[in-house]
Structure 1
């Protein structure tokens, strides 16, 4: 599709909700790639050359962003190709625009043949899950498409996942996904996996003790209130405030939070204090983090957790630690394409780094792997197989009912998006 469009004179841009997914899509299409959010902020100037914007994982796009996407496409002479599956994960923000565009009559082509799963049993399990038949899906997995490991306690389940993961070769681990839904669970499972890798001698003996920045995920309203901050929190800004002494490259530590006056005392990296009134300025451009320990060893799988255009890093970019110098506080990380980055424990931009052994379902969506280890409680490594089957079946029913109910309550933004869909987009 992309090559055909280019031959017809179109400029092709690959877009996705996450930076890592956009990069994968761009590499696959050999075209310019960006996140949808950044593209909507800076789509470039309209030109006489027609454009094709290919948006992957379209089910994750909110109604608000979809309306803006189609409006921007119209002003830039761009056609939009939406690629996705409405039965997969939906948008975190309000709206199910991709589904509602299809319900409203958007021209749609459906790919009915599954290509990603090459194992016949795994493919059959996926087809059964798409039909909402959890019992059949699990039975097919038992016949050769995978296995369901039933272990009662969470600690024991994590220990088994860690054991199975560490038993893989280094090459096999590169092609394996481990999925755990909760942040606390991901941290615990990561510790178990690294412990097993260390025991097996698959991580280096020397350790570099660093700290990482972990987002507090404040809402826009919370970011304006001093009570949302704690001493020790790190604040970074997406733009410069030269008159305030703020640089987008700096990291500012919260020294004190005065809830009564709604003012925060921030300390810059050179020790200079400044007063910040988040309700008056900067809150909309601020990202707030807490510090957590991060141990790095040779062999560790890591990922960057913040976009850094100047350093050519995107959120989710993966790499492997190939050398460390604990005396200097440095680590060398090999990225895709054999690019080498030197990480310093003193650098703010380098502390947007984490271990990359365990993912959420959202982070894993769209990625291709030979193996997937997923922890699934009764609501694969599970505490109770029969309850998990019932839970999966019930959730499929709830999802189906929700789709019908949602169609009766379409917001204004979604309605505008549908009106533009007929001449602005296609769906696959």
Structure 2
């Protein structure tokens, strides 16, 4: 693991870090050292002396150069702390295997060498641009210090690498370091360090296993028990306890918690007493690392590693490569577009690197069409094979040379990468949409169509259609293009505009279908347009065999009769990803749908899956309508906010919100917002929503609001405790890795896995990981083993779903929402309901339609609900409320995007209130992060890559279709499990 922290004082840092190591005096030799080409240029070598180190941190370099700080204030530098895993520290320090200390030092050196080459930047003057621009300098000045205990006096090997704020640029002058890229690269540096250290630990004869929370490829030495790790981890327990107080845990928050709980170092420690205490603790728990060390040394002497044993007895290169990849949790297959080499062409470790890169690209590609080179490196190294960053980068470079990865070369790491498949898919969507131009008969004649639209609007009970709504209706009904796009901001009445269109289509004898991405919005859209409604997933699943070409000729005739000439309307189309939209347009073309209307807003939240096809299609020569007049905003405040956001002026929107902004102490946002909400008169409260960006804030807001209502006596004081299931957000490729299977999580099987002995619908609870397999305890108490790397590839649905159990208290009167659907009872994912009564083991719930549902203990829907006083913006999109209280924290910086802020604010018709811990910083975060999805086409263009022609796209599509899907008997690729909707919650 690597943590980053700014150095506050040059003199204090020098005095603190240059002291000898504290407890293991026999390791103080070479405990400090200078590193870097910048240090070499200044003659800084060998042991770090305090005076020289303090001067460098103060910006005074040995050659007489002085680094001037902004406004006369010089930043000393950044402390990168490289920590070994606890098991490595225990074996090294309690067992005395000093080889591990050297392994740590070498891994830090390797990581710093990569950092120096790829990350360190300066700002230099560019005369052509007339401004300072970033430049990768390729040199740094760093001082490294080996320490071996944490603040609680426990074994913890770590190295402080203090990167001084000085680097030489191309102009031959010393400049301050631009730290932006260094902080952005924290996770990839951590992954590189873990991979380098793991490879050295394994070379010493040890076996390693992924850590319980294997972020950035964290690992432990196999054989060091969890009890031993926890016995010497009281410092970690203190930090976690501090984080648990407010349900948080980002990297920055861990850093703050560490600072708030840290103790001072003992100035003159008694090393002998401390080591004796360690050994007593080890004896008490029965931990003796001597056998581990003896076995490791024996293997090392015989030049054996865990990987050499994996391929023992195998003669063929291909066979050995497959064995190593499988041991990494990967499943090689023929026809992988990112591993086109014939089996046996790559030596085993190169084959492992190729499979790691391919797996990483698949995982990243499920959510984004393009991704950074550093993210690809990090994700590939998380596979924890016998690979290091040099091997991964060599593979990425090769794929780029062959055009299988599209992007710039290694010298330009700021550019994004994409895959040939993603590029082909985006090109395919555009080609499919353009194929429908001038290809259908209009639904209605132009003569009198405006009057018909307004007449239908009156009959439905709508206000008179405005110009934008009217023009959209005319274009949809009278054009000869199959695909029509309707772009409009939140609250402009897009779905209302489609209601009279649907009515006229029915008058003309056309079937009308209303679709959206989740059941609740689809149902509401269907009610507005008086049309049969469905989710996009359910619709695609119904016609899956038509889309993939496997339907019988008779079935094709039946479906064409159903859909030919139909009007298919999709609401919130911006939330439909590239793959789903491609299938939807292909079906419309094949079955001669008269009109496929895609209505949405490119400024609101995009699709969870990869791509932004709704935005891309708006750049094409296709039928399009714009609806701009806001109908939702009812007060001067909301009119001004909506106007500012429509113009992209985030600063002005926050300025308008300022009088209604309440600033509270860090961590107090949920309590303050809930109290504000609970103190409203009941009628106002019922028309006011609490909005959060993410899961943690939403959960805290729900708990605070419930407690406030209990104290007011407005919900029952006595409650019942339920264990509910929160869906863990994970990609299909990520589900094939062990890191998602943490103890206590519930794994639901979504497809038949007969080779592993699991059937669709079964589920178990994770109790551990053994030999690369997940151990599950089933409801009947049986313990079974599940192998994630054997999950089928290329499914259009999840092979498994992972849930995090959590406890909630439910009281009579509580407001809840469903997190899954029960079609038979009409309970839809995202729908709001209320607890009508609790009678013994039965909870009676009143649905949004007023119907009562008795849920006895054991009813599966009792696990798939949550409190709904606070909701997050993904659930809120498509909703309207009179008033709203928005909770935003600077701690949730990755969630504070302009898209999520726009969705939150534009749900509100009359009065918006913002509760935050830092208004100015939150505003900057929202301004700097759009939340926009990446695009393969845009990435290709930025890198000067030619786009594939329609013929090439078709050829690639056919090649992908010929790739066998590793689905098992009993479950085809007919689509998702329709017993539930997607329950995406990207609050994390």
Q: Is the pair's TM-score, using the shorter chain for normalization, greater than 0.5?
A: yes
Structure 1 position 17 matched with structure 2 position 512? no
SS of the equivalent of 1:92 reads coil
Structure 1 position 70 matched with structure 2 position 585? yes
Residue among 507, 515, 518 paired with 1:7: 507
1:247 and 1:63 map into 2 onto residues whose CA distance is: 30
2:679 and 2:571 map into 1 onto residues whose CA distance is: 34
Q: CA distance change for structure 1 residues 312 and 273 in 2, over 3 Å: closer, same or farther?
A: farther
Paired residues for 1:92-241 under 5 Å: 92-141=608-657, 147-239=659-751
1:91 and 1:192 map into 2 onto residues whose CA distance is: 31
Paired residues for 1:44-83 under 5 Å: 46-49=559-562, 50-78=565-593, 79-83=595-599
Q: CA distance change for structure 1 residues 117 and 347 in 2, over 3 Å: closer, same or farther?
A: same
Q: CA distance change for structure 1 residues 169 and 150 in 2, over 3 Å: closer, same or farther?
A: closer
SS of the equivalent of 1:129 reads helix
Contact conserved, 1:46 with 1:75, CA < 8 A, in 2?
A: no
SS of the equivalent of 2:589 reads helix
Q: CA distance change for structure 1 residues 346 and 243 in 2, over 3 Å: closer, same or farther?
A: farther
Structure 1 position 321 matched with structure 2 position 835? yes
Moved more, 212-221 or 248-257: 248-257
1:295 — aligned with what?
Answer: 809
Residue among 738, 753, 775 paired with 1:264: 775
Query: In the TM superposition, what is the alpha-carbon distance from 1:207 to its structure 2 partner?
Result: 0.5
2:961 — aligned with what?
Answer: none
1:6 and 1:171 map into 2 onto residues whose CA distance is: 39
1:426 — aligned with what?
Answer: none
SS of the equivalent of 1:346 reads coil
Query: In the TM superposition, what is the alpha-carbon distance from 1:135 to its structure 2 partner?
Result: 3.7
Query: In the TM superposition, what is the alpha-carbon distance from 1:321 to its structure 2 partner?
Result: 0.3
Contact conserved, 1:67 with 1:413, CA < 8 A, in 2?
A: no
Q: CA distance change for structure 1 residues 241 and 394 in 2, over 3 Å: closer, same or farther?
A: closer
Q: Which runs of 5+ in 2 are unaligned?
A: 1-500, 545-557, 894-913, 955-988
Q: Which protein is bigger by CA-based radius of gyration? A: 2
Contact conserved, 1:16 with 1:55, CA < 8 A, in 2?
A: yes
Query: In the TM superposition, what is the alpha-carbon distance from 1:169 to its structure 2 partner?
Result: 3.8
1:411 and 1:199 map into 2 onto residues whose CA distance is: 62
Structure 1 position 382 matched with structure 2 position 895? no
1:335 — aligned with what?
Answer: 847
SS of the equivalent of 2:812 reads coil
SS of the equivalent of 1:205 reads coil
1:228 and 1:399 map into 2 onto residues whose CA distance is: 26
2:134 — aligned with what?
Answer: none
Query: In the TM superposition, what is the alpha-carbon distance from 1:189 to its structure 2 partner?
Result: 1.6
Structure 1 position 277 matched with structure 2 position 777? no
Q: Deviations over 1:130-168 (max 9, x none)?
A: 1122343344446xxxx5323142333322211111123
Higher relative contact order (CA 8 A, sep 6+): 1
Q: CA distance change for structure 1 residues 300 and 223 in 2, over 3 Å: closer, same or farther?
A: same
1:233 and 1:413 map into 2 onto residues whose CA distance is: 46
2:776 and 2:926 map into 1 onto residues whose CA distance is: 48
Aligned residues: 408
SS of the equivalent of 2:843 reads strand
SS of the equivalent of 1:72 reads helix
1:412 and 1:189 map into 2 onto residues whose CA distance is: 49
Contact conserved, 2:612 with 2:933, CA < 8 A, in 1?
A: no
Alignment TM-score, normalising by the size of structure 1:
0.84
Q: CA distance change for structure 1 residues 399 and 77 in 2, over 3 Å: closer, same or farther?
A: closer
2:825 and 2:752 map into 1 onto residues whose CA distance is: 18
SS of the equivalent of 1:279 reads helix
Q: Deviations over 1:390-415 (max 9, x none)?
A: 4444446x969999966946987999
Moved more, 295-304 or 181-190: 181-190
CA RMSD, Structure 1 to Structure 2 (Å): 3.3
Contact conserved, 2:661 with 2:915, CA < 8 A, in 1?
A: yes
Query: In the TM superposition, what is the alpha-carbon distance from 1:211 to its structure 2 partner?
Result: 0.6
SS of the equivalent of 2:645 reads helix
Contact conserved, 2:664 with 2:672, CA < 8 A, in 1?
A: no
Query: In the TM superposition, what is the alpha-carbon distance from 1:214 to its structure 2 partner?
Result: 1.1
1:263 and 1:291 map into 2 onto residues whose CA distance is: 17
Query: In the TM superposition, what is the alpha-carbon distance from 1:205 to its structure 2 partner?
Result: 1.4
Bigger strand fraction: 1
1:400 and 1:347 map into 2 onto residues whose CA distance is: 38
2:848 and 2:752 map into 1 onto residues whose CA distance is: 31
2:872 and 2:646 map into 1 onto residues whose CA distance is: 20
Contact conserved, 1:148 with 1:385, CA < 8 A, in 2?
A: no
Q: Deviations over 1:361-394 (max 9, x none)?
A: 2211110111121123456122333444444444
SS of the equivalent of 2:604 reads coil
Contact conserved, 1:377 with 1:384, CA < 8 A, in 2?
A: yes
Q: Deviations over 1:309-358 (max 9, x none)?
A: 34432211210001012x42x21110022111222342334211111122
Alignment TM-score, normalising by the size of structure 2:
0.38
Query: In the TM superposition, what is the alpha-carbon distance from 1:416 to its structure 2 partner?
Result: 7.4
Moved more, 195-204 or 305-314: 305-314
Contact conserved, 1:148 with 1:382, CA < 8 A, in 2?
A: no
Query: In the TM superposition, what is the alpha-carbon distance from 1:359 to its structure 2 partner?
Result: 1.7
Query: In the TM superposition, what is the alpha-carbon distance from 1:304 to its structure 2 partner?
Result: 1.1
Query: In the TM superposition, what is the alpha-carbon distance from 1:250 to its structure 2 partner?
Result: 4.8
Residue among 3, 15, 33 paired with 2:533: 33
2:724 and 2:626 map into 1 onto residues whose CA distance is: 43
Q: CA distance change for structure 1 residues 51 and 87 in 2, over 3 Å: closer, same or farther?
A: same
Contact conserved, 2:832 with 2:847, CA < 8 A, in 1?
A: yes
